[in-house]
Structure 1
Amino acid sequence: MKKSSKTERKEQLHVLLRLLSYTKPHVKTIIFAFALLLIATIGDILGPILVKIFIDDYLRPGNLVFGPLVTLATAYLGIHIINVIVSYIQLVKFQEIALKIIQAMRVDVFTKVQSLGLKYFDKTPAGSIVSRVTNDTEAIKEMFVTVLVTFIQSSFLMGGILVAMFILNVKLALFCLLILPILYFIIRTYRQLSSKFYLDLRERLSQLNAKLSESLQGMGIIQVFRQEKRLRKEFEEINEKHYHAGMKNIRVDGLLLRPAIDLVYIGALILVLSFFGISSFNSPIEIGVLYAFINYLDRFFEPVNNLMAQLSLYQQAIVSASRVFGLLDETELAPVQMGNAGSIQAGEIEFKNVTFSYDGKRDVLKNISFTAKPGETVALVGHTGSGKSSIINLMMRFYEFERGEILIDGKSIKEYQEGELRRKIGLVLQDPFLFFGTVKDNIRLHNKELSVEEIEEAARFVQAHHFIEKLEGGMNHPVVERGSTFSSGQRQLIAFARTIAANPKILVLDEATANIDTETEEAIQTALAKMREGRTTIAIAHRLSTIQDANLILVLHQGEIVERGTHQELLAQTGLYHKMYLLQNGSVEKYVDVIS
């Protein structure tokens, strides 16, 4: 449904008031800056009055007395010098406030992103989020840095000029007030049109960022499958829509900003000159008053033009702020922890009839029940999409579930504090993520207080020290973004060392050895055997050879546990696990015989 203009105005006002709420911590500085702004405005208004006095009282009558003229010139020069100093200080103060506000806002947005649940990231492109944190906050910064200062300064100056006009000539000042409704109509029309165009413009920019981010992350795949032309065409299409949205806005700017205001200014100038021309038939004209009025009129339209020019940035800021506040108001948060269950001691895990759906429509897990005791390894196997990763996601509290229970040491997983869960559960993924920094920084990621000796011990434990010692700088070897200069196996070993350094009670291994060569895997399996001692281990595996010694193997199919038992017990059942085992061991003919 299309929003009415009244609704849009209310929403824009709400966004503006919310933006202004960020000024509360800086009230004293703002008052000081306002006081300076008032002084600067008074200085701007007094200048033409002093010139008017010089013309009417001294120049036109030929009364060129040295003393008063020196006093008048000194006052005029002094006002301008003071005005320059005061304007500089107030400008610096307003800029300082603006930068502090944006600094606080960016921290708020980044903090909010950190608190969002994975369900939000599943449906929102990363580039779109980046656009809100960077581009949109930058647009808001421009509003605080230039727009609001210009609005306030222009309002002060326009108000002061109107007062000065009434002091000089009440009748003519009343005539000049007729231009205010016309200016209001132009401003209102511009805001209504530009807000729509800027919203479209920002959305297209967000799509450009999303497409760029996706392309950078998948550059290897793009080049392998020679999809450069297709991606370029998609990017060009989005860029073309961004161009058209920008052109619509440019046309509105070109019509309603300077040209329209200049037309009103010319009309006002004709009005003033006509007034003095008609008045000259009945009484002599005060040249000083004429000069002052024309000067004030010019000065009146200067802030109007400045204000109109800033309306463009204002609309961008309001649209950007609405997008940022939309992110700040996002309700798709990470699951809430009640936080009264104490600490995890043994690490026993129990799933009780857990049913889960990502979209609320199709269940990806159905009545999952099993128990993993301390020191035991429970392996999850099954075809792609069977629900293995979903079990891990729920246990790690990446997603909220409503049906069934997950218990650790007999207490609901929802009752543990988030910090306790993260400390006591160690997660190693198939594609480990390394952060920019050093090898040492990545191993002690969870605890910056770890000593060098503890970090080296963790690396030796998982057999990672062999390749780390060969690196230039060893533990201080630089890691680029995502660890792209390391092999898959090396990244995995660093991830293992990182997990071991945390000394968790529960291990979660999501295809943790999938990217490691056979020789390295043997060393890792030895390390994993030591890691599992006294710990509860949940392992997802596609290669059945890596989990043959598991205490319990759960075979999942379409979100349900269809088989359970040890390796030998499952082979004896000649069911789905048996078929998978025959297929992976190259016995295709036997597999065909079995499934037929």
Structure 2
Amino acid sequence: MAEVTPTKGVFRRLLGYLRPHRTLLFGAFILLAVATTADVLGPILIQQFIDKYLTPRHFPTEPLVILGGVYLFLQVMKSGFNFLQLVGFQNAALKMIQALRIEVFGKVQRLGLTFFDRTPTGVLVSRITNDTEAIKDFYVTVLSTYVKNALLLIGIFVSMFFLDFRLALFCVILAPVIVYIMMMYRKISGRVFHEARRKLSQLNAKLNESLQGMYLIQAMRQQERLRSEFGEVNGDYQKARLRNIRINSLMLRPLMDVLYLAVLVVIMSFFGIRSFHSVIDIGVLYAFVNYLERFFEPVNEMMQQLNVFQQAMVAGERVFQLLDQTLYAPTQIGSANPEIARGKVTFDDVTFSYDGETDVLKNISFTAYPGQTVALVGHTGSGKSSIVNLLMRFYPVVKGRIMVDDVPLDAYSDIELRNKIGLVLQDPFLFVGDIAQNIRLGNEHVTDAEVVEAARFVQADSFIERLVGGYQEPVRERGSTLSAGQRQLVSFARTMAIEPKILVLDEATASVDTETEEAIQTALLKMRRGRTTIAIAHRLSTIQDADLILVLHHGEIVERGTHQELLAHRGLYHKMYLLQQGGREAVQL
């Protein structure tokens, strides 16, 4: 069996999305067949009028009224049925593309952070929006156009054979020529479309990066540099599209028009030569020329749609590459469904690498007992966030073991982990909605009273109640209308609303002003009470009361102990503490 080419594979997969809408498509197809039949019969009726009535100058009233009435009826029926079939096809197409977009978006939600580390956000946005839009055009315009014109061509061929067998046979011979031109166009344009789509993804990636970093761009006066880089990528995209336009300008309608004129000359010559020897039926000549024009019109439409078809195949290939990704987020292994009751966390000789080559964690071992606070300190890149990422099961553990309550981390369900491990990030993320929705965050079992209680617990209620809308105060994208401290307080309340057994803090007070920090430190003491807490700390003053401090350096634990023990050891922690204290040589022990 011949190997299936990527385009064939993409085409078959796209057609697979038609199955749930077979009934709707079949109804649209029947309407299209009736409309096409009405359209094809029109020239035959005119031929009958010319040869039977106009040429012999014979105008009986009743037959002419019937003939005219039938012609008018067919035209009205054609228009009405074309409208209905178009609505039917497009309705089915929109449903299919809606299902595909949801499938793609759902797939992205299940992929692991390893995939997002390797894939720019703008590329993903391009695949979910631009590429699916191109696929929509395949369903909306290409399929309906090809089905409609295929039926029309069949009807035209039948009518041509009815009028003149030899000329019809000549037109049939044209079919392989037209198919060859289509195949050549698809082959030549395929590479160009791939390049254009790749450049469009780069354009979206650059745009997304610029918009997300606008604060820094303006602060560092990088507007001209970014404008120049964006202009370069945009220029590359424009060149790729221009190559596509040149191919279209040569191989689509202009080439078909030349072929049409050549065939028209042959047919007119055929009738001209025949007129020297026999009488020519003017009606047959009219009908044949009319059918010839109708023959090339659907061919031209199909050639024009090859452009859209090729874009859809390239877009479909990119979308299916995303749907076929296997870099899923780590998930539960087994079906035991244990529960986290105490919150004991154990790292047992864990070694980890993001790229499979360079280890960012080396032989990490420690235990955080229920109710204890374990702080992670170290310079940037020492591995603190990697420990949190593994505990949150954002990445799989390849070497060593992580256990919670003496049960392997991968034995827990996603629901159990997310409900029992609360995460507070240094840069909190708020969603568009209102304050209450951001605290509840989809956990419908959290009541309004519990939302208020969680906000009161972290002392966020004071600023929330001063807002015009209170807990229903609208939140814009990323919480832009709130201060950094207010966003952090909302994220604290969000975490406490689920009452986790394990609390993970990634420098949770870094974005908070001094006055707010004092209030939050009080809340943190309450939050940590009775919970296992893993805290990443850059400011050592915030973790002096930790039960265990782990000092990391180049992915290894180089020191461990309490604040006082580590100061007495006079190692790396001692140096870090002195630096943060302004370089003082004396330390109160």
- For Structure 1 versus Structure 2, the TM-score category normalised by the shorter chain is over 0.9
Aligned to 2:67: 72
Match of 2:452 among 447, 456, 462: 456
Aligned to 1:311: 306
Aligned to 1:442: 438
Work out the CA distance in 2 between the residues paired with 1:446 and 1:387: 31
Work out the CA distance in 1 between the residues paired with 2:33 and 2:519: 75
Aligned to 2:103: 108
Aligned to 1:279: 274
Aligned to 1:189: 184
SS of 2:17's partner is: helix
CA distance 1:51–1:93, change in 2 (3 Å) = same
Match of 2:418 among 400, 419, 422: 422
Aligned to 1:485: 481
For the pair 1:208 / 2:213, whether they are aligned, the reply is: no
For the pair 1:360 / 2:356, whether they are aligned, the reply is: yes
Unaligned runs of 5+ residues in structure 2 are none
Retained in 2: the 8 A contact 1:395–1:406? yes
For the pair 1:125 / 2:120, whether they are aligned, the reply is: yes
CA offsets 1:102-139 (integer angstroms, 9 cap, x no match): 00000001001101111111111111111111111111
Work out the CA distance in 1 between the residues paired with 2:21 and 2:453: 50
Please tell me the residue identity of whatever aligns with 1:124. Answer: T
Work out the CA distance in 2 between the residues paired with 1:141 and 1:130: 16
Match of 1:223 among 211, 218, 223: 218
Q: Structure 1 residue 258: deviation in Å?
A: 1.1
CA offsets 1:261-297 (integer angstroms, 9 cap, x no match): 0000001111111111111222211111111110100
Q: How does 1:261-276 map to 2 (within 5 A)?
A: 261-276=256-271
Aligned to 2:316: 321
SS of 2:208's partner is: helix
Please tell me the residue identity of whatever aligns with 2:41. Answer: L
Please tell me the residue identity of whatever aligns with 2:129. Answer: T
Match of 1:403 among 379, 394, 399: 399
Q: Structure 1 residue 233: deviation in Å?
A: 0.4
Retained in 2: the 8 A contact 1:341–1:411? no
For the pair 1:542 / 2:538, whether they are aligned, the reply is: yes
For the pair 1:342 / 2:338, whether they are aligned, the reply is: yes
Work out the CA distance in 1 between the residues paired with 2:504 and 2:530: 14
Q: Structure 1 residue 228: deviation in Å?
A: 0.5
CA distance 1:86–1:388, change in 2 (3 Å) = same
Deviation beyond 4 Å, 4+ runs, structure 1: 588-591
Work out the CA distance in 2 between the residues paired with 1:176 and 1:365: 72
For the pair 1:162 / 2:160, whether they are aligned, the reply is: no
SS of 1:370's partner is: strand
CA offsets 1:146-178 (integer angstroms, 9 cap, x no match): 111001101110111111111111111111223
Work out the CA distance in 1 between the residues paired with 2:523 and 2:60: 101
Q: Structure 1 residue 420: deviation in Å?
A: 0.8
Retained in 2: the 8 A contact 1:354–1:368? yes
Q: Structure 1 residue 512: deviation in Å?
A: 0.6
CA offsets 1:439-483 (integer angstroms, 9 cap, x no match): 111111141342222111111111111211222211111111111
Q: Structure 1 residue 552: deviation in Å?
A: 0.8
CA offsets 1:401-420 (integer angstroms, 9 cap, x no match): 21111001111110111111
Percent of pairs identical after alignment?
59
Match of 1:61 among 56, 59, 70: 56
How many pairs align? Answer: 585
Q: Structure 1 residue 588: deviation in Å?
A: 4.7
Aligned to 2:583: 587
Work out the CA distance in 1 between the residues paired with 2:431 and 2:506: 19
Aligned to 1:3: none
For the pair 1:330 / 2:320, whether they are aligned, the reply is: no
Match of 1:476 among 436, 461, 472: 472
For the pair 1:371 / 2:356, whether they are aligned, the reply is: no
Please tell me the residue identity of whatever aligns with 1:442. Answer: N
Please tell me the residue identity of whatever aligns with 1:371. Answer: T
Work out the CA distance in 2 between the residues paired with 1:541 and 1:361: 28
Match of 1:20 among 15, 37, 43: 15
Work out the CA distance in 2 between the residues paired with 1:342 and 1:377: 24
Unaligned runs of 5+ residues in structure 1 are 1-5, 592-596
Q: More deviation in 479-488 or 226-235?
A: 479-488
Q: Structure 1 residue 519: deviation in Å?
A: 2.2
Q: How does 1:92-107 map to 2 (within 5 A)?
A: 92-107=87-102
Work out the CA distance in 2 between the residues paired with 1:542 and 1:349: 22
Match of 1:85 among 66, 69, 80: 80
Aligned to 1:291: 286
Work out the CA distance in 2 between the residues paired with 1:358 and 1:430: 21
Work out the CA distance in 1 between the residues paired with 2:446 and 2:374: 30
Please tell me the residue identity of whatever aligns with 2:456. Answer: R
Aligned to 2:382: 386
SS of 1:178's partner is: helix
Q: Structure 1 residue 182: deviation in Å?
A: 2.0
CA offsets 1:372-418 (integer angstroms, 9 cap, x no match): 11101111111110100000000101111211110011111101111
CA offsets 1:290-335 (integer angstroms, 9 cap, x no match): 1111010000111011111111111111111111111111111111
Please tell me the residue identity of whatever aligns with 1:337. Answer: Q
SS of 2:160's partner is: helix
Work out the CA distance in 2 between the residues paired with 1:193 and 1:106: 29
Work out the CA distance in 2 between the residues paired with 1:336 and 1:437: 29
CA offsets 1:200-249 (integer angstroms, 9 cap, x no match): 11111111111111111100100111110100000000011011101101
SS of 1:160's partner is: helix
Please tell me the residue identity of whatever aligns with 1:158. Answer: L
Work out the CA distance in 2 between the residues paired with 1:490 and 1:33: 55
Work out the CA distance in 2 between the residues paired with 1:261 and 1:350: 72
Work out the CA distance in 2 between the residues paired with 1:164 and 1:367: 81
For the pair 1:11 / 2:11, whether they are aligned, the reply is: no
Q: Structure 1 residue 504: deviation in Å?
A: 0.5
Q: Structure 1 residue 340: deviation in Å?
A: 2.2
Aligned to 1:49: 44
SS of 1:177's partner is: helix
For the pair 1:522 / 2:529, whether they are aligned, the reply is: no
TM-score w.r.t. the length of structure 2 is 0.97
Retained in 2: the 8 A contact 1:462–1:497? yes
Please tell me the residue identity of whatever aligns with 2:22. Answer: V
